[in-house]
């Protein structure tokens, strides 16, 4: 997913690079009576929502790379690059072709990977795991299990396979013949996973963890992260294990889960980004992007607005108090006159 996000940003980055390199003097096109310059183009596109978002990302990446880039090694970058290459290959595609499509070279793509890893390093540097965080991770944790699975495209196929298994069919043999999961089918569907595994859908995990050793599940419907592609699974539990009541043997795993929970907490991530942007003293120089970091840092305009709002609120409160005091005084005077009249 991160790979796609990096690639998707390439086009607009090229636009800003073009404007910066040309200084606005380069003509893009000419016609009778006029020309269109890079400056004209840049002024046209920079106010778009996509441009605003990409400039926001560029600022964040720059700040984090300058501070945390030293924590990212060439080995880390190469590992991510190789992972992206393998992912493309698994999908029957070529990473180099994808990079060309988005205007990247291997060098520029690795530079983008380093920026992404720098952001991750920066966020992780702010993470402090508490006992409460570990308890939260423990609540949904399940240790690694050994199982077999069969994946198919339709519910009818899954029901037919379940019937064959109920009639004594060999799970491993059927998995080799009919499973569409390329990673496990040749080994009879054998797989190991825990509650944090990303290779097995959450719906499948939930159903599998309830099985006893030797039990076979009913067909399980699972939808991928896009919400569009649905597949069906049948799982046979080989070796399940209960986590028990003691967290200590799993503290390493729980700490990793707690860290991931923090990284996926958007409020926490935004707070880290806000702190780092503030520490870097980021200033927006182009009015077209004056609100690009709204919600992350307080600009001079927003600070003035905030101060003005606070001042107005204070004055309003003061006036309200004066009014109440005046009303109270008038009431006391009226009451005093009434008493004198009565006498």
Domains, the chain, in order of start with CATH, read: 2-127 (1.10.4030), 142-239 (3.10.50.40)
Whole-number Å distance between alpha carbons of 78 and 214: 42
Q: Which residues pair with 232 in a beta bridge?
A: 152, 221
Is the pLDDT at 126 greater than 50? The verdict is: yes
CA 332 to chain centre: 63
Q: How confident is the model at residue 306 (pLDDT cuts 50, 70, 90)?
A: very low
pLDDT at 10: 47
Whole-number Å distance between alpha carbons of 286 and 19: 14
pLDDT at 223: 85
Residue 286's nearest CA partner among 11, 26, 58 is 58
Whole-number Å distance between alpha carbons of 67 and 255: 25
For the residues of 202-216, what is the DSSP string, one character each? HHHHHHHTTPPTT-B
Pairing of strands 220-223, 230-239: antiparallel
- List, for residues 73-113, the tens digit of each pLDDT value: 999 999 999 999 998 888 889 999 999 998 899 999 999 99
For the residues of 154-173, what is the DSSP string, one character each? SHHHHHHHHHHHHTT--HHH
- List, for residues 161-184, the tens digit of each pLDDT value: 999 999 999 999 999 999 999 999
**What percentage of the chain has pLDDT greater than the value 90?**
65
Residue 199's nearest CA partner among 213, 182, 187 is 182
Whole-number Å distance between alpha carbons of 264 and 47: 30
Whole-number Å distance between alpha carbons of 34 and 31: 6
Residue with the larger pLDDT of the pair 287 and 301: 287
**What percentage of the chain has pLDDT greater than the value 70?**
78
Whole-number Å distance between alpha carbons of 93 and 108: 20
Token readout for 342 is 């009565």
pLDDT at 11: 46
Q: Dihedrals φ, ψ of 237, to 5°?
A: -80, 125
Determine the average pLDDT of the residues in 25-54.
88
pLDDT at 315: 59
Pairing of strands 27-31, 34-37: antiparallel
Whole-number Å distance between alpha carbons of 299 and 276: 14
Whole-number Å distance between alpha carbons of 242 and 233: 23
Is the pLDDT at 43 greater than 70? The verdict is: yes
């Amino acid at each position: 997913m991160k790979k796609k996000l990096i690639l998707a940003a390439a086009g607009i980055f090229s636009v800003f690079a073009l404007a910066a390199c040309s200084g606005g003097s380069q003509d893009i096109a000419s016609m009778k009576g006029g020309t269109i310059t890079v400056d004209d183009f840049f002024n046209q596109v920079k106010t778009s929502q996509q441009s605003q978002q990409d400039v926001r990302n560029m600022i964040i990446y720059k700040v984090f790379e300058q501070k945390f880039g030293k924590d990212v090694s060439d080995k880390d970058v190469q590992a991510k690059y190789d992972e992206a290459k393998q992912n493309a290959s698994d999908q029957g595609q070529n990473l180099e072709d994808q990079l060309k499509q988005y205007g990247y070279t291997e060098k520029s793509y690795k530079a983008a990977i380093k920026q992404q890893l720098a952001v991750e390093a920066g966020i992780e540097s702010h993470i402090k795991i508490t006992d409460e965080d570990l308890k939260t991770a423990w609540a949904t944790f399940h240790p690694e299990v050994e199982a077999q699975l069969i994946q198919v495209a339709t519910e009818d196929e899954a029901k037919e396979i379940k019937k064959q298994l109920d009639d004594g069919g060999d799970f491993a043999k059927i998995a080799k013949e009919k499973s569409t999961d390329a990673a496990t089918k040749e080994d009879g569907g054998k797989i190991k996973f825990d509650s944090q595994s990303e290779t097995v859908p959450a719906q499948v995990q939930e159903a599998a963890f309830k099985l006893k050793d030797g039990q076979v599940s009913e067909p399980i419907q699972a939808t991928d992260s896009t919400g569009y592609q649905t597949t069906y699974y049948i799982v046979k539990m080989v070796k399940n294990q209960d986590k028990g009541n003691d967290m200590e043997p799993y503290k390493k795993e729980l700490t990793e889960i707690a860290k991931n929970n923090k990284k996926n907490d958007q409020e926490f991530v935004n707070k880290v980004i806000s702190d780092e942007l503030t520490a870097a003293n980021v200033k927006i120089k182009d009015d077209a992007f004056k609100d690009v970091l709204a919600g992350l840092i307080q600009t001079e305009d927003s600070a003035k607005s905030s101060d003005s709002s606070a001042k107005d609120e204070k004055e309003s409160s003061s006036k309200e108090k004066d009014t109440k005091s005046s009303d109270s005084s008038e009431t006391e005077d009226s009451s005093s006159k009434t008493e004198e009249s009565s006498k």
